[in-house]
Structure 1
Amino acid sequence: MKKNLFIGIGLVVFIAVVFMVIQNQTKSMDVIGYKIEDTTYKEMISSIGSVEYDKMVEIKAEVSGTIKDIYGEVGTKVKTGDLLAKIDDRMARIELEELETNSNVAKARYEDYKKSYSQNEQAIHDQRVLQENEIATLELERSQLHTKIQETKTLVEAGALPPKDLTNLNEQLAALEIKIQSAYDRLESLRSPVNADQELKASIEAADAKVNKQKMLLDKYTVKAPMDGVVIERLVELGTFVQAGEAIMKIASDNHKYAVVDIDEKYLNFVVVGKEAQITTEAYPDDVVKGTVVFISPEVDKDSGTVRVKVKINEKTDLFLQNMSVKVEFVGQVYEQAIVIPGEYLINDETPAVYIKDENGKVVKQKIVVANKNSKNIMVLKGLSAGMVILHPEKLEEGMEVNVTLSEESEKGL
């Protein structure tokens, strides 16, 4: 009895399942369709490249020294003459003070000479002796300082003393050399009264020339922007010691920006100077910016078979940064009365195909021949004609019964 009961229940379940399967097979699925119309198709030539600014310059130090101040982070906009960096100018200022002292001394001596023109050779001799004694004292000091520098250098190289100690001694030596040279200049100014007047005047001119030259040199310790632009790269930081000629930072003029791409040489007949292009970035793919071709390289890269093309970015330049990756598209061949379908309707098979609805209302696969399988909009060369409706392939399989609703893009056209 129980056995018959179990058989009965199993039979009921089986009938229910069969009924549900039949119901699912006979139920129509709602799908989106696209009605094909003849249209004009523009083949797009695209390439990935990068952004270049109009002009980029390296800001270089004109003198050696330690960076005392530095201004402008990467991305900061600057104006012509804006302060970019300061190099420590303490030694240069010390030298200027010495030179100004020498100039003042030369002028004072000339004034004294004019007042005491009648001084005899003995007086001049006495001054020379004093000056020579001063020089001897300074040279002795220099000799002792040289010895100390050598000893300190050995200790620094051995790691016993910090490099700063050696730097300080070298700075003292440089200042001492200036004093010795000044002493020699003063000694040279002591001449016989016969030619003293002319020589003293010449010494004043020479001293003033050195002062003016040193003032011009001091200006180079202040680094200023040579043009309007934006800081692209900072190559040194506060406290860095730079040599004369060493790059401190890079500045680019952002008045104009360009997208630079390499185009396959077979498309050269479609890309000419003055042609419009569309430019997008990975960061803002929905922002399409117009550009204009301004330069085409006169040579083909023999390895890649491409030609370098430069496109001026016409608008929204704030979206584009130096070296940013960009996609540039040009209109190539134009086809009239073409069969064009949205790329999303293509079935992801090895052989291009789409789904259509047959006369029985069921889904069938239609093989096609296309010109550009991976494009957003695909031109069909064979297999479809105007008036046909293709089905969106999501969740579809052959044999399904479907109800088709045309998409909005089908109504508006591509």
Structure 2
Amino acid sequence: MKNIIKITFISLLLISCGKENLESKVDKAIESEDKKALVELKKDIKTQQKQLEGLDAKIQKYMASTQADQTNYTLITARKIKTDTFKHFFNLQGDVKTDQNILIYPEFSGELEKIYVKEGDEVKKGQVLGKIDDGGLRDQISELQSRVDLAKTTFERQKRLWQDSIGSEIQFLQAKTNFESTQNSLQSLKKQLGKTEIKAPFNGKIDDIITDEGQIVTPGGMAVFRLVNLSQMYIETEVPENYLANINIGTPVEIELRAIGEKFEANIDQMANFINPDNRKFKVKIGIPDDIKNVKPNLIANVLINDYQNNEAIVVSENILQETADGTQISFKIKMKNDSLGQAIRTPLKTGKHYNGQVEVLGGIDVGDIIAKEGGRNLRDQEEVKITQIED
């Protein structure tokens, strides 16, 4: 305000002083008919007119700037639209599983005579884990072995006699039948004896010893061991059939095992070809990387499956949008007047999928447009705004 008073005062002073001096000089030059003086006075008048025009321009510029400062602008931040990758996931719950997690049952009845392992031991396929008392089966095998040896000798002798046409065919066939019968009985007893040893069916870890030494065990009774292979674990979950067209083997997933504080990215390894008619879902399997530690069967897994991705999407935060009564999403596009001032234009948007606070925009704004960000939810159509920051 002080500046405008100063400029105006100087202008008035120049006008008043200049007017008195010029009038006096002009009158004297006319009376004396001094044409040369009149020419010079005319030049002075033009010089003073230019000075006054310059002062007037300064006044106008100052008035415009003070008027702009007095306008009630709404302060906002803004964002310049560019393309980005938009991913949509849907959330399911799954369970950690392994196909090699079994209870080992005895195949022979008797006293559990010896346990050779302890819980937590790593064992190999075929390793003997425990021994059941054979109940005299070894003695029976030893006795039967003698009978087999005798039957074999008799059979071989009768075979030579029959080939030499000395013995009868009936004697030969009887000896042969007796030998084969006793040999089969011996093999059967040896197979039964093999069942007195409880062996590991695959490589794994002894997770639990269920039966103690000295207890009587029987086939189909109580299990003796739980054996688990933790090197081939996976997550299994059931997916609603309406997602069938959106996922395939290899589809990216994000897994969280909250109980052990682990998160990792993986892919779908296997999809079932059968939809359960009871719940209209199908199963998928996701492998667990070997470097994820402390994973146990039946852990609960949070499974995020990527069912949609657009690598050239326009994406905005949903917290800058307004929603009308009919559900239309509204943003405010900024019509820029200069580097910091603009006008907010109410712009309806065509939106796609929403995920994790982000919205895919299919229409209404384009790459390069500037939209209101912080402060944008409270704007009105065509409201004047002052932008404090524009994010790229």
TM-score, scaled relative to structure 1:
0.48
CA contact (8 A) 2:256 2:303 kept: no
- Quote the residue 1:52 is aligned against: 97
Spell out the pairing of 1:117-136 with structure 2 (5 A cutoff): none
Q: Is 1:71 aligned to residue 117 of structure 2?
A: yes
Q: Which runs of 5+ in 2 are unaligned?
A: 1-73, 149-173, 335-339, 380-384
Spell out the pairing of 1:76-155 with structure 2 (5 A cutoff): 76-87=121-132, 89=133, 92=134, 94=136, 96-97=138-139
Q: Is 1:308 aligned to residue 283 of structure 2?
A: yes
Spell out the pairing of 1:286-365 with structure 2 (5 A cutoff): 287-294=263-270, 296-313=271-288, 316=291, 318=293, 320-335=295-310, 337-341=312-316
* Letter paired with 1:259: I
Match of 1:229 among 190, 204, 207: 204
Q: Is 1:375 aligned to residue 356 of structure 2?
A: yes
Q: Distance in 1 between matches of 2:103 and 2:357?
A: 42
Q: Distance in 1 between matches of 2:82 and 2:290?
A: 34
390 and 322 in structure 1: CA distance in 2 versus 1, 3 angstrom threshold: farther
CA contact (8 A) 1:49 1:260 kept: yes
CA contact (8 A) 1:370 1:382 kept: yes
Q: Is 1:43 aligned to residue 105 of structure 2?
A: no
TM-score, scaled relative to structure 2:
0.50
Q: Is 1:268 aligned to residue 313 of structure 2?
A: no
* Letter paired with 2:285: K
Q: Distance in 2 between matches of 1:342 and 1:239?
A: 68
Q: Distance in 2 between matches of 1:356 and 1:223?
A: 75
290 and 72 in structure 1: CA distance in 2 versus 1, 3 angstrom threshold: farther
309 and 217 in structure 1: CA distance in 2 versus 1, 3 angstrom threshold: same
1:269 is paired with a residue whose SS is helix
1:287 is paired with a residue whose SS is strand
Q: Distance in 2 between matches of 1:282 and 1:229?
A: 23
Q: Distance in 1 between matches of 2:264 and 2:212?
A: 38
In the TM superposition, residue 258 of structure 1 has moved relative to its aligned partner by: 2.5
The structure with the greater share of residues assigned to helix is 1
CA contact (8 A) 1:236 1:248 kept: yes
- Quote the residue 1:251 is aligned against: 227
* Letter paired with 2:96: V
Q: Distance in 2 between matches of 1:330 and 1:242?
A: 47
CA contact (8 A) 1:260 1:309 kept: yes
1:280 is paired with a residue whose SS is strand
Identity %: 19
1:198-243 per-residue CA deviation (whole Å, 9 max, x = no partner) reads 99xx89x96x998886665444333121211234555434554321
Q: Distance in 2 between matches of 1:103 and 1:352?
A: 90
CA contact (8 A) 1:289 1:315 kept: no
224 and 292 in structure 1: CA distance in 2 versus 1, 3 angstrom threshold: same
CA contact (8 A) 1:93 1:218 kept: no
* Letter paired with 2:125: T
CA contact (8 A) 2:78 2:370 kept: no
CA contact (8 A) 2:257 2:301 kept: yes
In the TM superposition, residue 270 of structure 1 has moved relative to its aligned partner by: 2.2
CA contact (8 A) 1:46 1:330 kept: yes
2:242 is paired with a residue whose SS is helix
- Quote the residue 1:183 is aligned against: none
CA contact (8 A) 1:292 1:314 kept: no
Q: Distance in 1 between matches of 2:110 and 2:389?
A: 76
CA contact (8 A) 1:49 1:326 kept: yes
Q: Distance in 2 between matches of 1:298 and 1:104?
A: 53
In the TM superposition, residue 80 of structure 1 has moved relative to its aligned partner by: 1.3
Q: Distance in 1 between matches of 2:129 and 2:264?
A: 35
Where relative contact order (Cα < 8 A, 6+ residues apart) is larger, the structure is 1
1:248-297 per-residue CA deviation (whole Å, 9 max, x = no partner) reads 23434444333222222222122223x23224123366632323432x22
CA contact (8 A) 2:314 2:361 kept: yes
In the TM superposition, residue 319 of structure 1 has moved relative to its aligned partner by: 5.5
Q: Distance in 2 between matches of 1:404 and 1:84?
A: 75
* Letter paired with 1:265: E
CA contact (8 A) 1:355 1:391 kept: no
2:243 is paired with a residue whose SS is helix
The structure with the greater share of residues assigned to strand is 2
Number of aligned positions between the proteins: 277
280 and 366 in structure 1: CA distance in 2 versus 1, 3 angstrom threshold: farther
* Letter paired with 2:282: V
210 and 254 in structure 1: CA distance in 2 versus 1, 3 angstrom threshold: same
60 and 333 in structure 1: CA distance in 2 versus 1, 3 angstrom threshold: same
